[in-house]
Structure 1
Amino acid sequence: MTTERRYDIDWIRVIAIGLLLIYHIAIIFQPWAMFIGFIRSEDALEGLWTPMTMLNVWRIPLLFFVSGMGLYFAMKKRNWKQLLTERAKRILLPFVFGYFAITPLHMIIFQKFYKMPFSYFPDSGHLWFLGNIFAYVIILSPLFFYLKKHDNGKFKKIISKVMSYAVGPLSVSVFFILELILVKPQLFELYAQTWHGFFIGLLAFFFGFLFVYSGNSFWQTLLKWKWLYIAIAVILFALRLNGFENPAMYYLKAIESNCWIFGVFGLGYQYLNKPSARLTYLSQAAYPVYIIHMFVLFAGALIILPLNLPPFVEFVGIMLFTFMVCFLIYEFILRRINILRPLFGLKWKFNTEEKKPK
């Protein structure tokens, strides 16, 4: 198995989490925000939802693909016991801690904003993603270790050959369409705490691993055909945006989703696969920022919305507040207080400095 560090995958993960924050902030300015437990601005910015609608079909599947790819690299130097121990520390511990200590915070802020009686109730909230990822590790690890053991087998050669054609990566969309047919989700974009979210995540996680496992042919295909995938995605999005009514469009969302993702991976592979100090910092910060961003976002709304500023100014203000406060909390608290680091997915920091001789 290759030992090459894939900086582009790290960058895509960072960018995807940044887009997630912006997406959640945009929800505050939609008329239906309260129906899904978000603070709602009195002044809607419904125009914001057009680009968010484009993001909606691929932002979460992209993170599942990246997580599956990440597991491939995590398995390189670990046996199954080491892998499960490491994933439990990095994913399960922050999930359990967040379930009881982090996600209730933004609901407490919600209650304060709407002057509701105070109540505390643990919930997975936006951390449902972590619970799903850990479940996938448990479910798929036996298969993944089997594939690792047979790294030079016939199956890998077949997959590598299939992925060398433009239609190869797109062929996995058949499984995503089948998931829609069997699960029948109310909305394609309804991922959180649903069976649809669980199974589409399982598929994306599996194929993310398989794509990296298949070797360089997959990445060369994306590099060559990235603009074709993006063009297909744009056409399907335009049809969806213009209300093209056809039952097939519902299933075509799976193809659109994967085309956006393959286009993003292709662009990332071409332009982002290089190290940088900025990437090193942001890659470490992304996970803790993801964990804390919801209560920070709600705190920003609590402070800024009562000021009755123009709605776009409110949007920009909450966005700046969220990013700045999240990184301040990360930099001066989570990163520096050793006992907190494992609770937010960071490795315990050991003092490696040797004592100087007197």
Structure 2
Amino acid sequence: MTTERRYDIDWLRVIAIGLLLIYHIAIIFQPWAMFIGFIRSDEPLETLWGPMTMLNVWRIPLLFYVSGMGLYFAMRKRNWQQLLTERSKRILLPFVFGIIAIAPLHIFIFQKYYKMPMGYFPNSGHLWFLGNIFVYVLLLLPLFFYLKKKEEGRFKKALSSFMSNPVGPLSISVFFILEELLVNPAIFELYAQTWHGFFLGLLAFFFGFLFVYSGKAFWQTILKWRWLYLALAVVLYTIRLTVFEMQSPGYLMVIESNSWILGVFGFGYKYLNRPSATLSYLSQAAYPVYIIHMFVLYAGAMIILPLEMPPVLKFIAIIAFTGAGCYLIYEFIIRRMGVLRPLFGLKWKFNKTEKTYKLS
């Protein structure tokens, strides 16, 4: 297996989680926010939804792809027992802890903001993603280790050859189109705790693994054709925005989603595949921040929404509050307390010279 370090994939995980925070904050300023359990601003900013719906068709699938890639890199130095143990510690433990102690916090804030009776409700909330990933690991690990043993075989050679032309990577959209047709989701972008989200995530996780498994041919292809993928995504988004009022037919949503993702991978491979001190810090922080961001965000909304200021400034202020709050909690509590670190997916021991977080 290749030992090449892939800093661009670390960067894409960090960027995707940053976009997730902004996306969730934007929901607060949509008229329908309360229908999905978000605190709602009385002064909506519906213009935010144009760019947010562009993100929404690929931001979560991107994380599933990256997670599948991460599993490939983790397998370089672990057998299946070691890998399953490591994934249980890194994914299952934070998931269970989050259900009990983290996700209920933003529900408390929601209840307090709307003066509802206070109640404790253990739930996965936004951490549903972790539950899905752990199930995918359990389901696909036997197949992945089989493929690992056959890295010099005909399948990998054929896969590498297939990925060496621009149609190859995009052709996997056929499987996503079949998923969309069979599951027939009411809303394509509704991934959380739905069968559509589960099967779409499973496909993205699987093909993320296969993309890296196929070798350099995939990366050379998306590097060469990144502008083509980006242009196709922009065209399909424009059609969705102007012709279909945000909801294109499922097959077009699938192709748009994968076009964005392949373009992002191509540009990331060209410009982000290098180490930096910033990446070293952010890649460690991204996972704990993902876990805690919702209750920090809700706390910011509770404090800032009642203030007398234009809604745009409220949006910016909640972003700043969430970013600062997550940083302070991570830096001065989670990162430095050994007993808390594994509950947020970090190693037990705090090391001030921690190196760039590896995909494993």
Asked whether the two chains share a fold, i.e. TM above 0.5, the reply is yes
Post-superposition shift, 1:244?
3.4
**What residue number does 1:8 align with?**
8
Query: Per-residue CA shift, 1:315-345, capped at 9, x if unaligned?
Result: 0000000011101100000000000000000
Aligned equivalents of 1:2, 1:250: Cα separation in 2: 36
Aligned equivalents of 1:9, 1:208: Cα separation in 2: 11
**What residue number does 1:223 align with?**
223
Aligned equivalents of 2:80, 2:105: Cα separation in 1: 35
Report sequence identity in percent.
75
Task: State the secondary structure of the residue aligned to 1:5.
Answer: coil
The runs of 4+ residues in structure 1 deviating greater than 3 Å are: 244-248, 350-353
Post-superposition shift, 1:251?
1.5
**What residue number does 2:269 align with?**
269
**What residue number does 1:328 align with?**
328
Task: State the secondary structure of the residue aligned to 2:17.
Answer: helix
Q: Is 1:154 aligned with 2:161?
A: no
Alignment of 1:112-191 (within 5 A): 112-191=112-191
Gap change, CA 1:247 and 1:323, over 3 Å in 2: closer
Task: State the secondary structure of the residue aligned to 1:207.
Answer: helix
* Greater mean deviation of Cα atoms: 186-195 or 240-249: 240-249
Gap change, CA 1:352 and 1:48, over 3 Å in 2: closer
Gap change, CA 1:154 and 1:292, over 3 Å in 2: same
Alignment of 1:35-74 (within 5 A): 35-74=35-74
Task: State the secondary structure of the residue aligned to 1:338.
Answer: coil
**What residue number does 2:200 align with?**
200
Aligned equivalents of 1:352, 1:11: Cα separation in 2: 21
Gap change, CA 1:283 and 1:155, over 3 Å in 2: same
Gap change, CA 1:342 and 1:256, over 3 Å in 2: same
Gap change, CA 1:37 and 1:248, over 3 Å in 2: closer
Gap change, CA 1:349 and 1:227, over 3 Å in 2: same
Aligned equivalents of 2:37, 2:11: Cα separation in 1: 30
Alignment of 1:206-355 (within 5 A): 206-244=206-244, 249-349=249-349
Gap change, CA 1:8 and 1:350, over 3 Å in 2: closer
**What residue number does 2:96 align with?**
96
Gap change, CA 1:98 and 1:158, over 3 Å in 2: same
Task: State the secondary structure of the residue aligned to 2:185.
Answer: coil
**What residue number does 2:356 align with?**
none
TM-score scaled by length of structure 2: 0.96
Count of aligned pairs: 353
Task: State the secondary structure of the residue aligned to 1:339.
Answer: coil
Aligned equivalents of 1:336, 1:213: Cα separation in 2: 36
Aligned equivalents of 1:338, 1:46: Cα separation in 2: 43
Query: Per-residue CA shift, 1:247-304, capped at 9, x if unaligned?
Result: 9732110000000000000000000000001101000000000000000000000110
Aligned equivalents of 1:127, 1:257: Cα separation in 2: 22
Aligned equivalents of 2:145, 2:347: Cα separation in 1: 24
Q: Which runs of 5+ in 1 are unaligned?
A: 354-358
**What residue number does 1:28 align with?**
28
Q: Which amino acid aligns with 1:56?
A: N
**What residue number does 1:356 align with?**
none
Query: Per-residue CA shift, 1:150-183, capped at 9, x if unaligned?
Result: 1110000000000000000011000000000111
Q: Which amino acid aligns with 2:82?
A: Q
Aligned equivalents of 2:274, 2:139: Cα separation in 1: 33
The CA RMSD measured in Å over matched residues stands at 1.5
Aligned equivalents of 2:195, 2:347: Cα separation in 1: 31
Q: Which amino acid aligns with 1:214?
A: S
Post-superposition shift, 1:110?
0.2
Query: Per-residue CA shift, 1:91-125, capped at 9, x if unaligned?
Result: 00000000010000000000000000100110000
Aligned equivalents of 2:182, 2:335: Cα separation in 1: 44
Gap change, CA 1:110 and 1:143, over 3 Å in 2: same
Q: Which amino acid aligns with 1:137?
A: V
**Residues 64, 201 of structure 2: 8 Å contact kept:** yes
Task: State the secondary structure of the residue aligned to 1:188.
Answer: coil
Q: Is 1:85 aligned with 2:85?
A: yes
Post-superposition shift, 1:309?
1.4
Aligned equivalents of 1:333, 1:238: Cα separation in 2: 44
Task: State the secondary structure of the residue aligned to 1:348.
Answer: coil
Aligned equivalents of 2:67, 2:8: Cα separation in 1: 13
Aligned equivalents of 1:286, 1:25: Cα separation in 2: 17
Gap change, CA 1:45 and 1:4, over 3 Å in 2: same
Query: Per-residue CA shift, 1:127-169, capped at 9, x if unaligned?
Result: 0000000000000000000000111100000000000000000
Aligned equivalents of 1:350, 1:336: Cα separation in 2: 6
Aligned equivalents of 1:257, 1:246: Cα separation in 2: 13
Post-superposition shift, 1:308?
2.7
**What residue number does 1:109 align with?**
109
